[in-house]
Amino acid sequence: MGDSLPSVRALSKALEVSTLSVQRAYTELQKAGIIESVEGKGSFVAAELNCSNLKDALLMEVEDEAKKVIQIARQNGIDISELLELIKILWEEI
């Protein structure tokens, strides 16, 4: 196993967020294969990161954000060609 992570309670206090939020984040990281949790010992960076799982998790996050952008565009009368052009421009700028 890799480096140890702070406990849910310690990280929650340090970041001033709810313990529930930290627990959800740890759960998602564990599902993605980024961390490993051992009962009674804590959470650790996974010994072998599964890059495929990590990429899948990142793609899911991008997909969720893209759905929001598409919804906003549709609500405001922006067609797909305009949206794609905007994305191309922003892609080059960033």
Burial class (CB in 10 A: 0-12, 13-18, 19+), 61: exposed
Q: Which of the residue ranges 4-13, 26-35, 46-55, 74-83 would you say has the lowest mean pLDDT?
A: 46-55
Please tell me the predicted confidence (pLDDT) of residue 50. Answer: 66
Q: Facing residues of 36 across strands?
A: 44
Joined tokens for residue 84: 């794609």
Please tell me the predicted confidence (pLDDT) of residue 1. Answer: 66
Q: How many CB atoms lie within 10 A of CB 69?
A: 13
Confidence check: pLDDT of 2 > 70: yes
pLDDT tens sequence across 23-61: 999 998 888 888 998 889 999 998 877 677 678 778 888
Q: Which of the residue ranges 1-5, 17-21, 50-54, 59-63 would you say has the lowest mean pLDDT?
A: 50-54
Which sequence spans correspond to the domains of the chain?
8-45, 51-93
pTM: 0.55
Q: List the one residue out of 30, 24, 63 whose CA is nearest residue 44.
A: 30
For the segment 55-72, the average pLDDT, to the nearest whole number, is 90
Please tell me the predicted confidence (pLDDT) of residue 61. Answer: 86
